[in-house]
Amino acid sequence: MKAIVVKPGPRRVRLSWENAADPRPGPGEVLLEVHATAVNRADLLQARGQYPPPPGVTEILGLEAAGVVRELGAGVSGWSAGDRAMALLPGGGYAERAVVHAGLLLPLPEGWSFAQGAAVPEAWIAAYLNLFEEAGLRAGEIVLIHAGASGVGTAAIQLAVAEGARVFATAGAAAKLAACRALGAEAAIDYKTQDFAVEVKARSGGRGVDVILDPVGAAHLRRNLELLAPCGRLVNIGVMGGSRAEIDLALILSKSLRLIGSRLRPRPLAERVGIVGRFRERVLPRFLAGELKPVIDRVLPIAQAEAAHELIRENRNIGKVVLEIPRPA
Ligand SMILES: NC(=O)c1ccc[n+]([C@@H]2O[C@H](COP(=O)([O-])OP(=O)(O)OC[C@H]3O[C@@H](n4cnc5c(N)ncnc54)[C@H](OP(=O)(O)O)[C@@H]3O)[C@@H](O)[C@H]2O)c1
């Protein structure tokens, strides 16, 4: 098969579409013919050797895919060859074929393109997991979603609105702020020109927020803690704005705050299978009803993976950048 192979270079890595070994499904796994995958920031880090795959996982990039089930490993039930599926992968999506545990597959909604399917697993499952299972967001609560126009952010805004929460978002460009509002955010704040904590506090009548979903880290930490209402939860899912900061524990104690760190890929398989199962029950029906939709910035052929990474690195995307795998007609 063909796959993206990472070629280290003196100044930057090259992503080359070339021959690679075909994967074989083991017990409990299926072989997926990949029609589309999508870019995650973790892919950029992995390509530069800064986010190695967990032990036993392929070196091929790609945390999500959509395609057609072609072969079932021993003991797989509930899936048949020919089924259209979306997959949450530990790696291997940037390829013509990938193996995945059957418990990490979701049925592709009727009428959806493979590109739409590829835009769902990583961003939407991370948003669902961190808003609801980690932070325990409930209807009527107030949530602040940082990087609101990102892949995860565009999913999180929709999920929180659908749950009946009041949603605020931050982003760093006018078109991104407009996208956050169009998805249902009550207000979107330009964190580059405004103090988001002051703005959100004022808009919440001085109360602050119950939950913050934050991929930024250090640069936002002090204001995040100040903005949280009593019993508030801050879920940190990334460190795009640095990982080292000072914490005033008095704030955490006096307001009974919870600071939660959460990643998806390194979790044990059984945990990921459980999360995907609950996502299937709670969120998939809302895709089928047309209430929720993945936001796609653009779809590029996989041969342009380098250009796709560049777009993400330069923060130019609103929603997901999808890569299509060419198929003979
Ligand atoms: N823990 C998990 O399980 C998990 C799973 C998936 C993703 N993530 C993390 O979630 C984050 C979003 O991922 P994604 O793939 O959805 O991202 P994405 O679509 O690439 O968007 C990220 C956006 O974040 C903003 N940003 C970048 N650097 C920033 C900084 N220093 N301070 C503030 N904002 C910054 C930029 O938007 P603006 O123009 O608005 O600044 C950028 O477009 C990443 O950090 C990713 O690693 C975590």
Residue 151: its H or E element:
helix 151-163
151 close to ligand 1 (CB < 6 Angstrom): yes
Give mean pLDDT, residues 43-52: 94
Q: For residue 315, how far is its CA from the centre of ligand 1 (angstroms)?
A: 8
For residue 271, give Cα distances in angstroms to 28, 104, 243, 265: 15, 10, 26, 10
92 close to ligand 1 (CB < 6 Angstrom): no
Q: For residue 147, how far is its CA from the centre of ligand 1 (angstroms)?
A: 6
For residue 164, give Cα distances in angstroms to 131, 148, 158, 235: 13, 17, 10, 19
| Residue 327 pLDDT level (bands cut at 50, 70, 90) | confident
216 close to ligand 1 (CB < 6 Angstrom): yes
Q: Considering only the top CATH level, what class is 2-120+265-324?
A: alpha beta
Task: Give me 103's structure tokens.
Answer: 């418990």
Q: Is the pLDDT of residue 329 over 80?
A: no
Q: Tell me which residue has tokens 């959806």.
A: 112
pTM: 0.98
Q: For residue 214, how far is its CA from the centre of ligand 1 (angstroms)?
A: 9
Q: Is the pLDDT of residue 160 over 90?
A: yes
Q: Rounded to whole angstroms, how far apart are CA atoms 278 and 50?
A: 31
| Phi and psi at residue 239, to the nearest 5° | -130, 45
Task: Give me 311's structure tokens.
Answer: 């777009």
Q: Tens digits of per-residue pLDDT, 90-143? A: 999 999 999 999 999 999 999 999 999 999 999 999 999 999 999 999 999 999
- Helix, strand, coil fractions of the chain, as percent rounded to 5: 35, 25, 40
308 close to ligand 1 (CB < 6 Angstrom): no
Domains 2-120+265-324 and 123-261 share a fold: no
Task: Give me 24's structure tokens.
Answer: 């074989």
Q: For residue 221, how far is its CA from the centre of ligand 1 (angstroms)?
A: 15
299 close to ligand 1 (CB < 6 Angstrom): no
Q: Which of 100, 147, 158 is nearest to 295 (CA)?
A: 158
Ordered by start, the domain boundaries in the chain are 2-120+265-324, 123-261
CATH topology of domain 123-261: Rossmann fold (3.40.50)
Q: Is the pLDDT of residue 328 over 80?
A: no
| Residue 67 pLDDT level (bands cut at 50, 70, 90) | very high
